[in-house]
A and B are shown apart, each in its own frame.
Chain A
Amino acid sequence: GENVEQHPSTLSVQEGDSAVIKCTYSDSASNYFPWYKQELGKRPQLIIDIRSNVGEKKDQRIAVTLNKTAKHFSLHITETQPEDSAVYFCAAGGTSYGKLTFGQGTILTVHP
């Protein structure tokens, strides 16, 4: 089955800096890669996603890059703000909205 590795497990940055979280996956059949933000005790919130036919996608301060050959994808947050502090999860899934396999999570702390 699919295996998703996520790094780093914790990330601390100063407000205004950039943050990068990386994930690798094992199943070459995976073609959907979402990123979620989860606050304590809440449901995961989709912040951006990318499909395998695209190498990069951007939405304001958030961007995701995908390297299918190397089987890794990354989340980039620019101009970080304290409200960006949360746990971020990457995930990988197959065709037709199959099951998602989640990474281990990254605790992002943005210091004012």
Chain B
Amino acid sequence: GAVVSQHPSRVICKSGTSVKIECRSLDFQATTMFWYRQFPKQSLMLMATSNEGSKATYEQGVEKDKFLINHASLTLSTLTVTSAHPEDSSFYICSAIGRNYGYTFGSGTRLTVV
């Protein structure tokens, strides 16, 4: 079946630094990637949608200059949290779709900013 590999699974960074999260589709071409954020005991909130080769579309209230999304190839999408602060600590998860492949979630990244 379809697999999306997400790395890292956990990361701890200092306040003010940047963190990059990668999602790779291993056996299909991900034409669209959705990026979600999930705070403890809460639901998945969509942050942005990216289509391969296009600029990402951000949801209302999500700062595009803080959460940089790149989807330069059909198998790789990245989310960079710039100038991270403790309030950015959360579980970040990607979900990819491709031709003949429905929503396939990555394994998630637990980000802790100290």
Contacts and interface: CB of A to CB of B under 8 A. Distances in A.
Contact of A97 (B45, B91, B103, B105): B103
B34 interface: yes
A2 to B, nearest CB: 10
Given A89-B43, A89-B44, A99-B46, A43 B105 contact: yes
A100 B43 contact: no
A46 B97 CA distance: 14
Interface in B56-92: 91
Given A41-B108, A99-B49, A104 B43 contact: yes
A102 B105 CA distance: 14
Interface in A68-106: 89, 97, 99-105
A34 B44 CA distance: 14
A41 B43 contact: no
B34 A100 contact: yes
A44 interface: yes
- The prevalent SS among residues of B at the interface is strand
A42 B108 CA distance: 7
Contacts of B97: 97
A43 B32 contact: no
Nearest to A97: B97
Interface string A24-51: 0000000000100000011110100000
A78 to B, nearest CB: 25
B103 A100 contact: yes
Given A41-B91, A43-B106, A105-B42, 8 more contacts: A42-B108, A43-B93, A44-B93, A97-B97, A99-B49, A101-B46, A102-B44, A104-B43
